[in-house]
Structure formats: C-alpha cells, structure tokens
Amino acid sequence: MVRLALRSDSPPDLLGRLGATAGALLAAGVVTLLGGLLFLAPTMAEIVLLFGINAILVIGFQVFVGNTGIVSFGHVAFMAVGAYAGGIAAMPVLDKEVVLPDLPGALAGTEVGFLPALLVGGAAAALLALLTGPALMRLSGAAASIATLGLLIIVSNVLAQATPLTRGPQSLFGVPENTTFIGVYASLAVVVALSAWFKWSGAGLRARAVRDQPAAAEAAGVSVLRSRLWAFVLSAFITGVAGALYAQLLTAFSPGSFYIPQLVLVIAMAIVGGVGGISGALLGTAVITVINEVLRKVESGVPIAGVEIHAPSGISFAALGVALILMLRWRPSGLLGASEVQVETRAPAPAEAGPARVAGAAVPPVATDRPPAEATVEE
Amino acid sequence: MSAAPVPASRTRSPGPGTDAPLLRVTGAVKRFSGLTALDGADLALAAGEVLGLIGPNGSGKTTLVNCVSGALRIDEGEIRLGGRDITRASRARRAKSGIARTFQNLKLFGELTVRENVLVGLNASSGASSLEEVEGLLRSLRLEEVAREIVSTLSYGTQRRVEIARALAGDPRVLLLDEPAAGLNDGETAELKELIHEIRSERGCGVLVIDHDMNLVLGISDRVQVLDEGKVIYEGAPQEAFKQPRVVAAYLGAE
Ligand SMILES: Nc1ncnc2c1ncn2[C@@H]1O[C@H](COP(=O)(O)OP(=O)(O)OP(=O)(O)O)[C@@H](O)[C@H]1O
Ligand SMILES: [Mg+2]
C-alpha cells in the first residue's frame, strides 16, 4: 500500500528517502501540470517560465536557509554569477565579438548549448560559495546574514566594474533565447530531487542539527563549518542554474537585475511558503506569483463596470511587503512549515494485498498546523 | 526497562584492573578572565566504572566536563584517552574517539524528531554502529512510541532520555552525564539509576555522573570525587565522602 502524507520528519530508511523524494517530485509535477495548462495561453507564456525559474531560485535559497537556519541576503549574488557565467558561455562567438570585444581569448572563442550553459552557471556560483563559505559559515545569526548581504554588494559591484566580461553597469545583450518550457520544468524536477535527497541525507540532517543546537552537534562529532558549507555550495549551485535559465530567457540583463528587488521577491516567496521545506518553496512561489501578476494587471488598468481602474503603480511590490508582515505575524513558519509531501509505503494488510499504487496523486497538499501533525490521503 | 539490553557493538579494551585508566586528566587549569574555574584538577576514570563528581555550585564540575569533551580548552595540564594525548584534539575528534556527553541544560535538536536526534548521535560512532542499533536504543530507552515526534513537544523527562540515547548512539567509551537527574521525579530518577547500571555493565563504558542528588550519586558510584573552587578535595569511597571535614566545610561554606 502506498499513501501520500504531509510530514516533516525524515523517512526512516532508504525506501522512505526515495518515497520522500518522489513526494517532492509529485508536488513539482502538480505545479508543472498547472504551468503547462497556463502556458498554452500566449499571454501567460513568459509568466509561466519566470514562475518555474523563481521556483528553482526559491528552492536554492531554501536548501541553505531551511537546513542551516541562517537567513541569507546574498543568494541573489549566486543568481547573478550564474546568469553572467551561463549567459556568456551560451552567447554565439560572432555575437561575442560585437557585444564583448575585450573578452579574454578562451572565453571569446567558445560557445556552448543550453544544458552546458546551465551547468556552467551552477558551477560558477558553487565555486563562489566554496571560496567564500569557509569565511562566511563561521558566523552565525544576524552576523552571518549581514555578511551574506556584504557578499551580494561585493558581487554586484564587481560585475558592474568588470567591463570586459560583463559590459559593466550597461545591459549585457545577445544571449540566445534558449530557455523553453521543457528546459525550465525539467530543471525544476532535477533540482527538487537534488534538494530532497540532500535534505534527507546524513549531510542534511547534520546541517539541521547544527541549526538547532551547534554545541550539541559538535559534541556528536559534527563539524559546524563543514555541515553548513555543503548546504551553502549545493544551494549556490541551484541558484546559479536559476540564473543561467533567467539569462537565456530574458537575453539581456544588467547587474541591477540581480539586486534588492529580486532579493525581496525570493525572501517573500520563501517565507510565505515556509522556509523549512521544498513543498513550501513551491507553494510560496505560486502564491506570490499569482498575487504579483494580479496586482500588476490592476496597476496597468482594468475595466470594472465600464470604468478603467488604475491602482497606484508600485502596489505589487508593496503587496510583497504586506504579505511578508502578515505571514510573520500570523504564520511565521510559512504556509507549510517544514512539512514535505512524502510518498509512504506501508506493509500491506493481508486482506488488501493488491498491486501497490499511488493514492490520490492529483490531490494537492494540505496545510497542517504543527510540524508533527500529519495529513494523509489514503486508499 | 531491563528487559531490553542496551546494545553495544564496539569490542572493548580491557576493563578495570589494567593499570592505565581509560580517561586521565592531570593538573587541569582553566581560567575565565581572572576567575580560575579549574585549579589543577585531576580525574581518572576506568572502563566499566561509575565515577560521581560532586561539589558545591560553581565549583567547576561542568567546566571539567566541557574541558574533557573539548567544548573548552584547558590552559594547563593534560588529558589522555586510552593512553593517547587528546589535550589539543578538536571536539569532533574527541567525539569520534569515544567521548560522549549530555548537558546540564538540555541541548536537543528541538525541531528534529526523537529518531533524528539519535541518528545525529550515530555520527560520532567509529562506523560499527548501524541503523538497527538506533532502533534498539530507542526501544531500550522506551522511546520507540515517540520516535517520530518533534522532540521539543515532549515532556522534560522524555527529553532527558533522548539526550542519553543520542549520547549512546555514538557507542562511546566515556559517557559524561552533567546533572542527568535534574528536573526528574522520583520514579524517573529510579529509572535513571537502573539505566546507568545497565550502561556500565553491558557496554563497559566509563561513566562520569555529576548531580546534586546525593542519594543518586552516592548510590550508583563506585567512587566519588569532590571539587571545590576548581580543586579536588576528596577522592575515594562514596560512603566516606561526607565524613571528611573538608567536604562538609565546602558544602556548608557554599550555603
Ligand atoms: N564560559 C564561562 N565564562 C566565564 N565564567 C565561567 C564560564 N563557565 C563557567 N564559568 C564560571 O566558572 C565557575 C565554575 O562553573 P561551573 O559551571 O563549572 O560550576 P559547576 O560546578 O558546574 O556548578 P553547578 O553545580 O552550579 O552546575 C563558576 O564561577 C562559573 O561562573
Ligand atoms: Mg554545572
């Protein structure tokens, strides 16, 4: 017998880990299905792609923040590095001669396809995390958060000054538009599986132990620095992939595209959904995207009873702030908290020993109140 | 509780009777900006022995445990485990070489479940322990019912047992219990007593017990050591401790 559960504790064995990963993938599948339906409407295409990219971004953020408890203000820096590295790698050689004439030889002479560009973006961001992590991950609490903000400021300024590589503060253009629906949502599936596997691995458990009680984790032989570093590097990789997808969707961007507004967006999505879990990251991204798009529509004017109603411009951004405050007041752990959709297998009772099948696969996850609470759909 | 034995897997070096004790601290000095918390304290703990460490509030008991577990470094002196010098070893190294502890103020991984807490403890083991052993531990500490509960939602007495289970999961050679009976009721304290006996007899651990419950400490210890202002003022048989004028004076002076 197989059933679907929403719970926050680690599955007890390898089979359970596979089930938990499958559960997260199922949640991603529901999101993909909805996205696919909307994608058919031409005006929605870009929104659906941006949504998928944001979901990857928020999951990248969640892998670090959820497992280590350190609120990062720096993840947009990894997105920026992923976008520039992936974008430059994907740009055709002929375009590079025009757009980036001063690019060093090796970079100027190569161009790669969509998938390698994603890996280049992810790897560049992971490398940055690996280099800065040993210093940053020694800090805890507010000091760590502010240090990650410092990382964002430094990276943003370096990108704005490294003119031969980035065109400085001006827009980098000429990145091929390779990002497709399949590209985004297949990446999302891989990223969801990767982060679920990490969360339920020994490394993820150690990171959460350090999050809750560093002294006790060290007394059990856990290295605070190393456990945080793995989460940091993996989350940077995922965030970098999101950046490379973004670059190949928009085709033109500047260092300013990856700054405070983008940071606020990611934080709002993560907090609304629940920073503790992957399922929450998906839900939060969906909720904020819908609110954002509806308000943006109203900003540009909607006819109500024959009269064009215009909301004051900027209201969609202000709404993010309101959503954040409301969540932190009423539901600080987010809509889903640390709970995850998990597929659980149970030894079948003798009477109903039939072929196992996934029960209620299309039933959307149900929010629970407390982490130990469990909502199940059983057949 | 005695129905399910506490599982142990690591093959033990010879127990008491061999000349070198399992854990030996010599001349430990620890200063906190002006205050000398440990002032040349010694400690010897043999495998399979229960040593009671008592002394008035602020006498340096927890500091000594912190220095042995590696949470603090001693300023002078030496710490040896199984003959190896671990004075400068990191906390993680000490954990992996078999030193486990509990904390005076519970330090559990609050958002994790009972089983996850114990699984983290497994990290300190030398590799011999397995997942089955974790299940065995949960059973023998009567935690299997609550294994999937978030630990911060459980009663204080249960949380104390989780902390001991977590320490045992690493299959330690030396177990340091800092006031394990604090906050427990009489029934729970009796249960703890039995548990410490089992740990000693079935795992062959050296167990150091700090507590202010003299009935408990004097009742379960093979030997006691009394600390006062960072110095050892008595070491020997439990029944004799409070016949020493110095010990009585230390406790009265602390009133
Ligand atoms: N991290 C620290 N920084 C400064 N002083 C400390 C620190 N830890 C302990 N002390 C001081 O060292 C002395 C010994 O403290 P310790 O906690 O070891 O006593 P204890 O014997 O465990 O007392 P109790 O029975 O109250 O637990 C106390 O005076 C305490 O204030
Ligand atoms: Mg103490």
Predicted-complex ipTM score: 0.89
Q: Which residues of A touch B110 (CB under 8 A)?
A: 212-213
Q: Which residues of A touch B95 (CB under 8 A)?
A: 218-221
Mean pLDDT is lowest, of A181-185, A215-219, A354-358, for: A354-358
Q: Which residues contact ligand 1 via a Cβ below 6 A?
A: B 32, 35, 37, 55, 57-63, 104
User: Which tokens go with A35?
Assistant: 């996205």
| Mean pLDDT, residues B152-163 | 95
Grade residue B165 by pLDDT with cuts at 50, 70 and 90.
Answer: very high
Please tell me if residue B107 touches chain A, with a CB cutoff of 8 Å.
yes
Tens digit of each residue's pLDDT (9 = 90 or more) over B82-109:
989 999 999 999 999 999 999 999 999 9
- What pLDDT score does A191 carry? 95
Tell me how far the alpha carbon of residue A294 lies from the centroid of ligand 1, in angstroms: 59
Give the one of A9, A222, A371 whose C-beta lies nearest to B120's C-beta.
A222
Please tell me if residue B139 touches chain A, with a CB cutoff of 8 Å.
no
Size of interface A-B (CB pairs under 8 A): 94
Verify whether the Cβ–Cβ distance A208 to B148 is below 8 Å: no
Tens digit of each residue's pLDDT (9 = 90 or more) over A307-320:
887 777 778 888 88
Residue of B nearest to A221 (CA): B92
What percentage of chain B exceeds 90 in pLDDT? 78
* Ligand 1 atom 19, closest CA: B58
pLDDT at A235 over 90: yes
- What pLDDT score does A146 carry? 96
Give alpha helix (H) positions in B99-199. Answer: 114-122, 131-140, 156-169, 186-198
Please count the residues of chain B: 255
| Mean pLDDT, residues B16-37 | 85
Tell me how far the alpha carbon of residue B65 lies from the centroid of ligand 2, in angstroms: 9
Residue A356 within any structural domain of the chain: no
Mean pLDDT is lowest, of A87-91, A249-253, A363-367, for: A363-367
Rounded distance, CA B46 to CA A282, Å? 55
pLDDT at A92 over 90: yes
Mutation pick from B66, B68, B91 vs chain A, by most beta carbons of A within 10 Å, is B91
Residue A290 within any structural domain of the chain: no
Give the one of A12, A209, A220 whose C-beta lies nearest to B170's C-beta.
A220
From A222, A210, A234, A22, select the one nearest B111 (Cα to Cα).
A210
From B98, B77, B99, select the one nearest B88 (Cα to Cα).
B77
Verify whether the Cβ–Cβ distance A372 to B150 is below 8 Å: yes
Please tell me if residue B100 touches chain A, with a CB cutoff of 8 Å.
yes
| Mean pLDDT, residues B173-187 | 94
Say how many C-beta atoms besides its own lie within 10 A of residue B234's C-beta. 20
pLDDT at A67 over 90: yes
Q: Which residues of B touch A8 (CB under 8 A)?
A: 150
What is the CA angle B215-B217-B220, rounded to 5? 95
- What pLDDT score does A346 carry? 63
- What pLDDT score does B127 carry? 64
Which ligand lies nearest the alpha carbon of B39? 1
Grade residue A292 by pLDDT with cuts at 50, 70 and 90.
Answer: confident
Tens digit of each residue's pLDDT (9 = 90 or more) over B117-139:
999 998 887 665 577 888 999 99
Rounded distance, CA B49 to CA B17, Å? 11
Residue A333 within any structural domain of the chain: no
Q: Which residues pair with B225 in a beta bridge?
A: B53, B235
- What pLDDT score does A61 carry? 97
Tens digit of each residue's pLDDT (9 = 90 or more) over A329-354:
988 888 888 888 888 776 444 433 33
Residue A355 within any structural domain of the chain: no
Rounded distance, CA A4 to CA A23, Å? 7
User: Which tokens go with A365?
Assistant: 């996850």
- In the Cβ-directed half-sphere of A13, how many Cα atoms lie within 13 Å? 9
- What pLDDT score does A371 carry? 39
Tens digit of each residue's pLDDT (9 = 90 or more) over A141-187:
999 999 999 999 999 999 999 988 999 999 999 999 999 999 999 99
Whole-number Cα distances in Å, A322 to A62, A217, A313, A318, A328? 21, 37, 16, 6, 10
Please tell me if residue B109 touches chain A, with a CB cutoff of 8 Å.
yes
- What pLDDT score does A316 carry? 80
Tell me how far the alpha carbon of residue B37 lies from the centroid of ligand 1, in angstroms: 7
Whole-number Cα distances in Å, B105 to A365, B44, B61? 38, 25, 14
Per-chain mean pLDDT for chain A: 86
Tens digit of each residue's pLDDT (9 = 90 or more) over A109-131:
899 999 999 999 999 999 999 99
Which ligand lies nearest the alpha carbon of B63? 1
- What pLDDT score does B129 carry? 59
Residue of A nearest to B104 (CA): A216
Whole-prediction pTM value? 0.87
Please tell me if residue B126 touches chain A, with a CB cutoff of 8 Å.
no
pLDDT at B13 over 50: no
- What pLDDT score does A332 carry? 87
Q: How far apart are the first and last CA of chain A?
A: 8
- What pLDDT score does A368 carry? 36
Cβ partners under 8 Å of residue A176, min gap 6: A90, A91, A92, A248, A251
Q: Which residues of A touch B92 (CB under 8 A)?
A: 218, 221-223
Give the one of B92, B108, B116 whose C-beta lies nearest to A222's C-beta.
B92
Verify whether the Cβ–Cβ distance A213 to B107 is below 8 Å: yes
Q: How far is B71 from chain A (nearest CA, A)?
A: 8
**Strand B50-54 with B223-228, pairing:** parallel
Residue B62, helix vs strand vs coil: helix
- What pLDDT score does A372 carry? 37
Torsion angles phi and psi, residue A235, rounded to 5: -70, -35
Verify whether the Cβ–Cβ distance B112 to A209 is below 8 Å: yes
- What pLDDT score does A339 carry? 86
- What pLDDT score does A107 carry? 86
Residue A140 within any structural domain of the chain: yes
- What pLDDT score does B14 carry? 44
Grade residue B11 by pLDDT with cuts at 50, 70 and 90.
Answer: very low
In chain A, residues 264-293 whose CB comes closer than 8 Å to chain B: 276
Q: Is A106 exposed, middle or buried (0-12, 13-18, 19+ CB in 10 A)?
A: exposed
- In the Cβ-directed half-sphere of A53, how many Cα atoms lie within 13 Å? 28
pLDDT at A373 over 60: no
Residue A271 within any structural domain of the chain: no
| Mean pLDDT, residues B70-81 | 96
pLDDT at B181 over 90: yes
Query: Where in the sequence is the domain holding A48, given as residue range(s)?
Result: 2-257+338-345
pLDDT at B228 over 50: yes
AA letter at B77: G
Residue A372 within any structural domain of the chain: no
Tens digit of each residue's pLDDT (9 = 90 or more) over A19-39:
888 888 888 888 888 888 888
Atom of ligand 1 nearest to the CA of B33: 4
- What pLDDT score does A115 carry? 97
3-state SS of chain A: helix, strand, coil percent to 5? 65, 5, 30
Whole-number Cα distances in Å, B36 to B57, B58, B103? 14, 11, 22
Ion ligand 2: residues, Cβ under 5 Å? B 61-62, 104
Mean pLDDT is lowest, of A112-116, B13-17, B190-194, for: B13-17
Residue A178 within any structural domain of the chain: yes
Buried b / exposed e over A112-123, threshold 16 CB at 10 Å, is eebeebbbbbbb
| Mean pLDDT, residues B38-61 | 95
- What pLDDT score does A305 carry? 77
Residue of B nearest to A373 (CA): B149
Tell me how far the alpha carbon of residue B240 lies from the centroid of ligand 2, in angstroms: 23
Rounded distance, CA B156 to CA B82, Å? 34
- What pLDDT score does B16 carry? 45
> Where is pLDDT greater, at B133 or B72?
B72
Q: Which residues of B touch A215 (CB under 8 A)?
A: 71, 103, 107
What percentage of chain B exceeds 70 in pLDDT? 90
Rounded distance, CA A185 to CA A194, Å? 14
Q: Which residues of B touch A370 (CB under 8 A)?
A: 150, 153
Tell me how far the alpha carbon of residue B221 lies from the centroid of ligand 1, in angstroms: 23
Domain count, chain A: 1
Q: How far is B239 from chain A (nearest CA, A)?
A: 33
